[in-house]
Amino acid sequence: METIEEIVRQFGEKHSATAKQFVSYFGVALVGLGFDFGTLVFLREVFGVNYLIAAAAGFTAGLVVNYILSVRYVFKGSKLKSRALEFGLFGAIGLIGLGILSVAMWFFTDLLGVHYVLSKCFATVIVYMWNFFGRKAMYHN
């Protein structure tokens, strides 16, 4: 039987590792976000693409960058044996995130009249949380 001190220590160690991953993922997400936002603004401002379509394209570019950096620097020990399956699941989590992003951007931009870039900022915070915890569940650490 574990003592209360041992349980508290284990709880702290487990959450400390998650906190470190969360911070590492934040750095990776910032790089992916650079690609995401860059694509969004470029497509919208240079080519006049609808903001939701441009956001989806940016999200896709960011997803690929995020996957490459995440498996290299943040998450180790995939629960899946196949890299293709791993990327597919990573992408599926991202697609759900894209749905969340699209609804949030539509809500902030079309319903509340917020500029699309600011809407993207708000939506990104929500999607970041979804993506981190969804993707963390795919790995042993």
- Per-residue pLDDT reduced to its tens digit, 72-97: 999 888 888 898 998 899 889 988 99
Percent of the chain with pLDDT over 70: 89
| Whether pTM exceeds 0.75 | no
Q: How far lies 75's CA from each of 92, 121, 129, in Å? A: 17, 25, 15
Provide the pLDDT confidence category of residue 105 given band limits of 50, 70 and 90.
very high
The confidence score (pLDDT) of residue 80 equals: 86
Tell me the mean pLDDT in the region 130-137. Answer: 89
Q: Contact at 8 Å (CB) between 63 and 88?
A: no
Of 2-11, 76-85, 104-113, where does mean pLDDT reach its minimum? 2-11
Q: Contact at 8 Å (CB) between 58 and 39?
A: yes
The DSSP 8-state label assigned to residue 77 in this structure reads S
- Per-residue pLDDT reduced to its tens digit, 32-60: 999 999 999 999 999 999 999 999 999 89
The DSSP 8-state label assigned to residue 112 in this structure reads T
The confidence score (pLDDT) of residue 121 equals: 92
Cα four-point dihedral sign 40, 42, 47, 48:
positive
Q: How far lies 131's CA from each of 52, 119, 128, in Å? A: 19, 18, 5
Taking phi over 0 as left and psi of -120 to 50 as alpha, with beta for the rest, 3 belongs to beta
